[in-house]
Amino acid sequence: MTEPMLLNGQRLAAEMRGQLAAQIARVRAQGYRAPGLAVILVGDDPASAIYVRNKKRAAQEIGIEPVDAVLPQGSTTEDVLRVVDQFNQDPAIDGILVQMPLPPQIETETVLARVRPDKDVDGLTVTNLGRLTAGEEGLVPCTPKGILRLLEAYDIALAGRRAVVVGRSRLVGLPVALLLMQRQATVTVIHSRTPEPETIARQADILVVAAGKPHLVTEDWIKPGAVVIDVGIHRGDHGLLGDVDRERVWSRVGALSPVPGGVGPMTILELLDNTWTAYRRHEGLSE
Ligand SMILES: Nc1nc(=O)c2c([nH]1)NC[C@@H]1CN(c3ccc(C(=O)N[C@@H](CCC(=O)O)C(=O)O)cc3)C=[N+]21
Ligand SMILES: [Mg+2]
């Protein structure tokens, strides 16, 4: 078989960020305010702190004003709600991101439910997930949207093809399955309680892996020539690992999104894109 194609999310995201920067510069030159993105970080998880820093830097680089609120590990649900309310009311803020996971004493559902749907740039509120389910316009979760954009950029057809999603999370598995269905793929979702997952995965023309388990997917999960999207990201002693064991699947896949450099940069790009969309809606600018 020919060499697999690497789906380069890093390059695509950089290209798209350039386009966003140009669009933002254009409205700024017409006298409009800068788009504003609020990032709420609760606690001192070092990985979360790094992600938040990367998101803020990416925003700044394209002309989005990042504002952050860092709350102590011991914060209560009420403490977080107060910060959400403040950003909900702030007309300079177009997007609000609550970095996950929140410390265990905080009621995640209650916090998410408080974010104004028009500022919900993660697409995690019931309103936006409902809109997505109904095929209505809203804000679409970043990682799923980035995966679809990556597939599209590489001309990977979805209509009539079989897609298998590994994982059912609200952030990735569930919404990516919805988006793939909307593109007329035949979609199966498998998860930790699915017996013989490899047998099902081996039917996939497109395999999206968001299981949160390092190197879960090996050659026996892969139909020869399949397109494999690796959403996992784990910090090992020897650098970053995905949910896919790249070495072991390499001789079978048709295309693969690498970790790092695949889905991760696309996720951040879509956060910026959603902030830009929310901003245009707030300012009454055409889409
Ligand atoms: N409310 C919320 N929204 C999120 O979107 C969200 C979240 N919480 N919590 C954590 C996960 C994780 N996540 C990543 C984003 C970018 C990279 C990324 O840029 N990865 C680089 C590598 C970066 C590195 O070196 O660690 C890459 O894959 O190339 C990774 C992971 C967003 N998440
Ligand atoms: Mg996201």
pLDDT of residue 20: 98
| pLDDT tens digits, one per residue of 226-242 | 999 999 999 888 899 99
User: Is there a shared CATH topology between the 32-116 domain and the 142-264 domain?
Assistant: yes
Q: Is the CB of 156 under 6 A from ligand 1?
A: no
pLDDT of residue 173: 98
**Which residue has tokens 């990367």?**
54
| pLDDT tens digits, one per residue of 238-256 | 899 999 999 999 999 999 9
In sign, the C-alpha dihedral spanning 208, 214, 218, 221 is: negative
- What is the chain's mean pLDDT, rounded? 97
According to the annotation, is 167 in a ligand binding site? yes
Tokens at 26, concatenated: 């254009």
Q: How many helices (H) and strands (E) does the chain have?
A: 10, 11
pLDDT of residue 286: 84
The percent of residues in the chain predicted with pLDDT above 90, rounded, is: 95
| pLDDT tens digits, one per residue of 102-131 | 999 999 999 999 999 999 999 999 999 999
What is each CA distance from 69 to 3, 59, 111, in whole angstroms? 46, 15, 14
pLDDT of residue 57: 97
Average pLDDT over residues 175-202: 98
DSSP characters over 140-186: --HHHHHHHHHHHHTT---TT-EEEEE---TTTHHHHHHHHHHTT-E
Q: Is the CB of 260 under 6 A from ligand 1?
A: yes
Report the distance separating Cα 230 and Cα 8, nearest Å.
12
Average pLDDT over residues 44-60: 94
Residue 1 banded pLDDT, cuts 50, 70, 90: low
Closest among 147, 157, 203 to 178, alpha carbons compared = 147
pLDDT of residue 67: 97
Ligand 2 center–CA 140 separation, angstroms: 9
Peptide bond into 265 cis (omega under 30): no
Strands (E), the chain: 5-6, 36-42, 65-71, 95-98, 162-166, 186-190, 206-209, 227-230, 234-236, 239-241, 255-257
Complex-level ipTM: 0.93
Q: Is the CB of 212 under 6 A from ligand 1?
A: no
pLDDT of residue 2: 80
Superfamily of domain 142-264: NAD(P)-binding Rossmann-like Domain (3.40.50.720)
* CA of 10, closest atom in ligand 1: 29
pLDDT of residue 8: 98
56 catalytic per annotation = no
In sign, the C-alpha dihedral spanning 102, 149, 248, 236 is: negative
Average pLDDT over residues 170-187: 97
* CA of 100, closest atom in ligand 1: 8
pLDDT at residue 62 is higher than 90? yes
Domain boundaries, the chain: 32-116, 142-264
What is each CA distance from 71 to 85, 102, 111, 221, 223, in whole angstroms? 14, 11, 14, 42, 46
Phi, psi of 281 (to 5 degrees): -65, -40
pLDDT of residue 236: 83
Report the distance separating Cα 77 and Cα 91, nearest Å.
24
| pLDDT tens digits, one per residue of 74-87 | 999 999 999 999 99
CATH T-level topology, domain 32-116: Rossmann fold (3.40.50)
pLDDT of residue 287: 73
C-beta of residue 108 within 8 angstroms of C-beta of residue 126: no
Phi, psi of 242 (to 5 degrees): -95, -175
Tokens at 17, concatenated: 């960020």
